A and B are shown apart, each in its own frame.
Chain A
Amino acid sequence: MRISRRQLLGAGLTLATLPLLAAGRQRQPIVLSAGWDGDEQWCAGTLERASAPLPARGHVLVPDPQRYGEAIVVARRPGYYLARIDWRRGKLLKQFALEDERNLVGHAVFSQDGRYLITAETDENTGAGRLAIRDARSFKRLEDRPSHGVGPHEILWLNSHTLVVANGGILTLPETGRYKRNIDRMDPSLVLIDSRDGGLLQEYRLPDSKLSIRHLAVTADGTVGTALQNEGSNSSPMLAILRDGQFAYASTPPELAQAMRGYAASLAALGNRFLMPCPTGNLLTEWSSEGQATAQLSLPRVFGAAALPDRWLASGEQGELWQLVPGKLTVQASQRYPHHWDNHLTVV
């Protein structure tokens, strides 16, 4: 299936408005994140009140579109729990132990109607990537579908019936923890899936199979950005874009490729720009949706990225939160919180 820019544009607008619809009325944006305090005291919540305790390291927080004030925490890969938290009160409301022989990879999305949670998982028996359709309240698995690849990571809605999934292509299995078992046979792919039946609509690959496709964002003009992680060299493009049906690397000058050091931690979109942190290179990068580098800023161990209506947010592993001007990446404000943030920021 060929996705037109017009379709993608519609999808991008849908995605951009979802958090506001979830809130139900105009509110000040709230930023959520998982993180940890001190010696591995895992927690999640708002920046000011990250006090909902977690049993193990969380990765992404997904706001419940039907229950303002609540969010789902997905365990970091290989993860074995889902949690529902009340981020206003800093409380853990529910903890769910994943079924046997499955692990979570840190990401999930709600269904369009908010009744189901779609989790990206790995089948520990076969190593295959799976998408589980779960009851959003009980987390019980109702349906189980292929992710059409190995090592699925982030999932996004592209339009009302199309999911885009980043299959990282790296096989990990429980007996060897985070050890990457197939580096010489990696098969990363970006796939579009029909959410109605789980069928594969389209799949895309990059020329270099050592570039693991991990994180996703969609700009206002409908371009899908994918943040990459390199299992080979440390001097390759770290952003690839799906635009007009073509999946290709962003235009990356060699010195910038070198500076990104082979690892992008997350991706956010604002208007027609992407923000991509590269913590190994201590570098925050901004890109146009056409794949041109527009700005860079050195920031220490910068992992998280998010967009407010008029500015970027970026978070550092040591608890920093920076507000930045789009187009320039100059720092408007910065603050340091007493938490270590995980890779992702979520704006409610």
Chain B
Amino acid sequence: MLLRPALIAFACGSLLNVHAEGLDATAVVKGWQSQQLGRVQTLQASSLVLKDSVDALCKRLGNSEIRAARQAWLQTYVAWRAVEALPMGPALSRRTAWQIDAWPVKPQKVEEAVRLVERDAPIADSVGANAQGLPALEYLLWGDDRASAQLGRLHFRQRCQYAQALAADVATEAQSLQQDWQGYSSTALDADAGRQAFEEAVNLIAGSVEALRDKKVGRLGSPKLTQKPTRQIFDAWRSHGTHAGMAATLNALEQLFLDNRQAPSFVDRLAVEKPLLAQHLREEFAIAREHLAKLPADMAASAAAKPASVQPFLDSIKKLQGIIELQVADAVGVTIGFKDSDGD
């Protein structure tokens, strides 16, 4: 897929130059960049396995091969969900999410793309984002309802060729992202640049938390969970990967705030002046993790059958969102620029 040069030029901006005392914004950002580099490397490695697995599947259409391809898809998906927790720097400017994870997939568009695909040729620009990336590949590997029938459908040569093209596309983007990220994370930041990057990152984290609650659970325009949910409104419902994806994002978010293996964590730094808030944040992450752990692996089907089962988790994410957007942002002098209460 082609990059969109017009967009690459756009960068995020400083929102408010208020420096919270006691918090070294540059050090926090460098810590986050370092964490994210590891996640980007995992994504790159898993996407290569995915590409090889799909190639192997199309060479020999067997049960073990499709199992391996599905496993590789799940690993890549989970790796991406962790990266997506903080889509800063190259992930933002390259529009990696748009390139490999435009969601929801449009199956009829995928079927059109299957008919148009040419062997070893790049995916045509005319194939929209909603027929590409990991969700489209998930559709080809699992189908909508009859996962066991997908192996037979992949015997149609062009179907397998399109699956290969999708996997290759994801691997190419992950490789480019990793290369860009290495340069990005090794660039020194002075205090002003560090502060600006910090403000952008806090905004992006707030956006990730919001997406975790809204976008990943309820498709835009669909009825809310408490009304008539169907499994289709959940991210990764075909592969039963909803829970794993949520856990990956939540875990990455928690580490961004709490991980102090390499250096003092964000919360450690926050605690110097705001010990109660820091403790509150720790507790709310733990509560969200506990609620998620109680949900089954096939969270989409389970929640569709029993919507109330997901509500405690959603409530905990909403609470986390509020703490980050209001108390934490205020404590570190960052303006969240896109709150839902923002008018139009």
Give CA–CA (A80, B9) in the complex, Å.
26
Which of B6, B109, B211 contacts A126, CB < 8 Å? B6
The answer to whether B101 touches A175, judged by C-beta atoms less than 8 angstroms apart, is yes
Determine whether B147 belongs to the interface, using a CB cutoff of 8 Å to chain A.
no
Whether a CB of chain B sits under 8 angstroms from the CB of A181 is: yes
Q: Are B87 and A127 in contact (CB under 8 A)?
A: no
A81 touches B221 (CB 8 A): yes
**A183 x B92 contact (CB < 8 A):** no
A197 interface residue per 8 A CB criterion: no
Q: Mark B298-323, 1 if CB is under 8 A from A, else 0.
A: 00000000000000000000000000
Question: Across the two chains, which residue of chain B brings its CB closest to A53?
Answer: B223
Contact in complex: B220, A56 (CB < 8 Å): yes
Say yes or no for B145: interface residue by CB 8 A criterion.
Answer: no
In Å, the complex CA distance between A186 and B11 comes to 10
- Chain A 157-199 per-residue mask, 1 if CB under 8 angstroms from chain B, else 0: 0000000000000011111111111111110000000000000
Q: Which of A233-291 contact B (CB under 8 A)?
A: 263, 265, 279
- Does A177 contact B211, Cβ atoms closer than 8 Å? yes
Instruction: Determine whether A91 belongs to the interface, using a CB cutoff of 8 Å to chain B.
Output: no
Min C-beta distance of A260 to chain B, whole Å:
13
How many angstroms from the CA of A38 to the CA of B222 in the assembled complex? 17
Q: Which of B6, B12, B211, B221 contacts A80 (CB 8 A)?
A: B221
Chain B residue contacts of A153, Cβ below 8 A: 344
Is A46 in the interface zone, CB < 8 Å from B?
A: no
A63: B residues at CB distance < 8 A: none
Interface string of A25-56 (1 = CB under 8 A from B): 00000000000000110000000000000011
Known: A100-B128, A182-B12. Contact between A303 and B204, CB under 8 A?
A: no
On whether the beta carbons of A181 and B92 are closer than 8 Å, the reply is yes
A339 close to B (CB within 8 Å): no
Interface size of A by CB at 8 A reads: 44
B15 on interface, CB distance cutoff 8 Å = yes
Task: Check B4–A127 contact: CB distance below 8 A.
Answer: yes
Contact of B12 among A39, A40, A183 (CB under 8 A): A183
Give the Cβ gap from A290 to chain B, nearest Cβ, in Å. 27
Chain A positions within 8 Å of B95 at CB level = 173, 175
**Cβ–Cβ < 8 Å partners of A182 in chain B:** 10-13
Interchain CB contact (< 8 A) of A127 among B7, B215, B223, B338: B7
Report the Cα distance A265→B341, complex, angstroms: 12
| Beta-carbon contact of A177 and B210 below 8 Å | yes
In the bound assembly, the distance between CA atoms of A229 and B92 in angstroms comes to 24
Q: B27 at the A/B interface (Cβ < 8 Å)?
A: no
Q: A101-B128, A125-B129, A175-B87 are in contact. Are A183 and B344 (CB under 8 A)?
A: no
Contact A183/B7 with A56-B220, A174-B98, A303-B343 known, Cβ cut-off 8 Å = no
Select B130's contact among A55, A100, A265, beta carbons within 8 Å.
A100
B179-223 interface code vs A (CB 8 A; 1 in, 0 out): 000000000000000000000000110010011000100001111
Given contacts A173-B98, A183-B15, contact A127 B221 (CB under 8 A): no
Asked whether B344 lies within 8 Å of A175 as measured between CB atoms, the reply is: no
Please give the distance in Å from B299's CB to the nearest CB on chain A.
22
The contact of B344 among A76, A97, A177, by CB within 8 Å, is: A76
Which of A56, A125, A178, A231 is B340 in contact with, Cβ under 8 Å?
Answer: A178
Q: Is the CB of A183 within 8 A of B128?
A: no
CB contact under 8 A between A171 and B221, given known A125-B129, A176-B207, A303-B343: no
Q: A59-B344, A171-B7, A173-B98 are in contact. List 9 more A-B contacts (CB 8 A).
A: A106-B344, A172-B338, A174-B98, A175-B87, A178-B342, A179-B207, A183-B14, A231-B337, A343-B343
Binding site for B on A (CB under 8 A): 39-40, 55-56, 59, 76-77, 80-81, 97, 100-101, 105-106, 124-128, 153, 171-186, 214, 229, 231, 263, 265, 279, 303, 343
Give B contacts to A, CB under 8 Å. Answer: 4, 6-7, 9-15, 87, 92, 95, 97-98, 101-102, 106, 109, 128-130, 203-204, 207, 210-211, 215, 220-224, 226, 337-338, 340, 342-344
